[in-house]
Amino acid sequence: MIDLRVKDFMTHQPPRITSATLLADAVTIIENSDQDSAVVIDDEKVVGLLSERDCLKTLISNSYHCEGAPKASEFMKSSISTVDAEDNILDVASKVVNGVGGFCEQTCFPVMQQGVFVGLIGVKGLVEALNQHYKTCKAY
């Protein structure tokens, strides 16, 4: 079995916003990171995720009409799956591929350790970890 842990491939300082962050500011924060989502944290608790995809429809409309100042809370996903820092990469990747527990709807997952938010891992990190392991196989 592959013994690769989420903690070894997660982003330790991912983009963070609050639910009150203006959408335009949230998009800028995401764009300035290497992730496609920002973790929404209020009062030190993970309350959601906001992805570029979540923002797209609103940006199309607001850019066209130049109106409104929407907040992250209006578009973030609040029902999200998290992973533990000690979770096995293969187990998490399998959940993503098989859509277990809503995993197929997310591209990034807040990483928790003893109930505390410690990072973010995305599909890109999962692919990187598994590809790195694959390159050590005799078949490669």
Q: How confident is the model at residue 134 (pLDDT cuts 50, 70, 90)?
A: confident
Which contiguous run of DSSP H or E holds residue 64?
A: helix 52-65
- Is 90 exceeded by the pLDDT of residue 107? no
Task: Specify the pTM.
Answer: 0.86
42-55: pLDDT as tens digits? 999 999 999 998 88
Residue 61 structure tokens: 């409309």
User: Rounded to an integer, what distance in angstroms lies between the CA atom of residue 39 and that of residue 48?
Assistant: 6
User: DSSP class of residue 87?
Assistant: S
Question: Any residues with CB less than 8 A from the CB of 105 and at least 6 apart, and which?
Answer: 77, 99
Helix axes 52-65, 23-31, angle to 10 degrees: 130
User: Rounded to an integer, what distance in angstroms lies between the CA atom of residue 54 and that of residue 26?
Assistant: 11
User: Rounded to an integer, what distance in angstroms lies between the CA atom of residue 140 and that of residue 135?
Assistant: 6
Cα 23–25–31 angle (5° rounding)?
A: 100
- The two most distant CA atoms of the chain are separated, in Å, by 58
Cα 126–103–85 angle (5° rounding)?
A: 50
Residue 24 structure tokens: 């335009």
1-26: pLDDT as tens digits? 678 999 999 999 999 999 999 998 99
